Amino acid sequence: MTKRILILMSKTGGGHRASAEALKAGFAQLYGDAFEVEIIDLLMDYLPWPVRELPKSYNFLAGTTPWLWRLLFQATDEQITAATLNRMAARVLGQSIAQAFTRYQPDLVISVHPLVQYLSMRALKVMRLRIPFVTVVTDLATVHPAWFHPRANLCFIPSQEVYAAARKARLTPEQIRLYGLPIRPMFATPPQRGPELRARLQMNPDLPAALLVGGGEGIGKVASIAHALDAHLRADGKQLGQMVIICGSNRKLYDEMSARKWSVPVRVLGYVDNMAEWMAACDCIVTKAGPGTIAEALTCGLPIMLSGFIPGQEEGNVPYVINHQVGAYRPEPEDIARLVTRWFGPERGELARMAANARQLGNPRATFHIVEDIAALLGDVPPSLAT
């Protein structure tokens, strides 16, 4: 009989949604239609106003006033404060969560968002629903304590860096599984690099390529980095590289980048569904410190130039990239352009070393491992179709 799985996420950034979709795709790939997986945006679709406005504030706060986001993150970062807030929220919002559970009648619930652990646990308890609840942490190195609930059946974490935080929050080693961040199955077998791929993507076949992104929403300093890099990648009339600029859902950025005349070959794109191909076709990525993008780049063996981070949950991703020697951090567009240009020239060897380290650190099969463990929680596991 088909088992129903409910994934709770919210659109605070593209990462949670991307992880939720990765898990859904992983279930479909491994088990066909043995599981019916539904993804809901718990905050936007089920909670009453004004709480459902929270995700919108995230885009605004994280993008335009990161200092305020940091303040909020830190204010709720203490275990006790977080627990008190969670208890209050659960009392007020329990009914809305219960509605979602009544509607979908899940056999198992997965959370990929730090804000919903306590709310869901409380609703399950009040409804006397005895179904497994698992958390899949989608932040890479710095984690908010609200991610961890001691009664979660399993908690999947992406890195060694997160293990201590999970233990501090009283999770037992048996509850914790360390496989890596769930990324979409397309990253498990990234496309072959080479001239064919570049031709299909209408890129220059020979020039080294920098991929510029700003998360799902296209936020950060993408435009000024593109301008600086364009200037540096052309010296003495010679082109030293090319750029691919992915603007995500940021229409204004897309229009601005498309209208501009460039002095090196440039591809400007809106939201793309084939990120694995673009990553495989490029030689380095310039990005804010989004966990999804970092994890994906690692599996593609793509050195990472970090241009910034959202205070709080993305902060630890900077030392993560530097300590594992898979990239660098330069907050100034001019410095980014200078270093990337060196990577494409005299420091080619360093770029190749970072690419090898990235391939080693990446976990291309994390999604499949997570999905298999979750399926096992539901008892008689149907055979895996493709592992």
Give yes or no for a contact between 361 and 324, defined as CB atoms under 8 angstroms apart: yes
User: Quick check: 18 binds ligand UDP (CB under 6 A)?
Assistant: yes
Helix axes 251-259, 222-232, angle to 10 degrees: 20
Which lies closer to ligand UDP via its Cβ, residue 15 or residue 327?
Answer: 15
Q: How many residues bind ligand UDP (CB under 6 A)?
A: 18
What stretches of 169-216 adopt beta strand conformation (E)?
176-178, 209-213
Site for ligand UDP in 277-306 (CB under 6 A): 290-293, 296
Instruction: Please tell me whether residue 63 binds ligand UDP under the rule CB under 6 A.
Output: no
Interacting residues with ligand UDP between 337 and 366 (CB under 6 A): none
Instruction: Give 335's contacts (C-beta < 8 A, 6+ positions apart).
Output: none
Comparing CB distances to ligand UDP, the nearer of 121 and 211 is: 211
Residue 248 is a binding residue for ligand UDP (CB under 6 A): yes
Closest by CA to 330, choosing from 224, 207, 208, is 224
**Torsion over CA: 143, 144, 149, 153 (sign):** negative
Name which of 15 and 333 has its Cβ closer to ligand UDP: 15
- At its nearest, how many Å lie between ligand UDP and the CB of residue 180? 14
DSSP strand E in 51-163: where?
108-111, 133-136, 154-157
Placement of tokens 């399926």 in the chain: 375
Residue 114 interacts with ligand UDP (CB under 6 A): yes or no: no
Site for ligand UDP in 166-225 (CB under 6 A): 213, 215-217
- Rank residues 35 and 187 by Cβ distance to ligand UDP and give the closer one: 187
Helices (H), 105-159: 117-126
Choosing from 211, 246, 282, 328, the residue that interacts with ligand UDP (CB under 6 A) is: 246
Rounded to whole angstroms, the Cα distance separating 187 from 296 reads 7
Q: Output the smallest distance, CB 72 to ligand UDP, in A.
A: 16
Report in angstroms how near the CB of residue 18 gets to ligand UDP at its nearest: 4
Which candidate, 137, 25, 9, 113, places its Cα nearest to that of 371? 25
Least Cβ distance, residue 206 to ligand UDP (angstroms): 25
Q: How far is the CB of 291 from ligand UDP (least distance, A)?
A: 5
Window 309-328: residues binding ligand UDP (CB under 6 A): none
**CB-wise, 103 or 251, nearer to ligand UDP?**
251
Q: Which is nearer to ligand UDP, 101 or 320 (CB)?
A: 320
Give bridge partners of residue 304 from the DSSP assignment.
285, 327
DSSP strand pairing (238-239 vs 234-235) = antiparallel
- Gap between the Cα atoms of 48 and 188, Å rounded: 38
- Min. distance of Cβ 104 from ligand UDP in angstroms? 25
> Smaller CB distance to ligand UDP: residue 117 or 367?
367
Backbone φ and ψ of 105, nearest 5°: 45, 55
* Alpha carbons 251 and 370: distance in angstroms, whole number: 35
| Binding status of residue 272 toward ligand UDP by CB under 6 A | yes
The rounded distance, in Å, linking the Cα atoms of 271 and 251 is 9
Identity of the residue, 163 or 271, whose beta carbon is nearer to ligand UDP in the bound complex:
271
Stretch that binds ligand UDP, among 9-17, 66-74, 228-236, 317-325 (CB under 6 A): 9-17
Residue with tokens 């596991």, as numbered in its chain: 381
Which residues contribute to the site for ligand UDP (CB under 6 A)? 13-15, 18, 213, 215-217, 246, 248, 271-272, 275, 290-293, 296
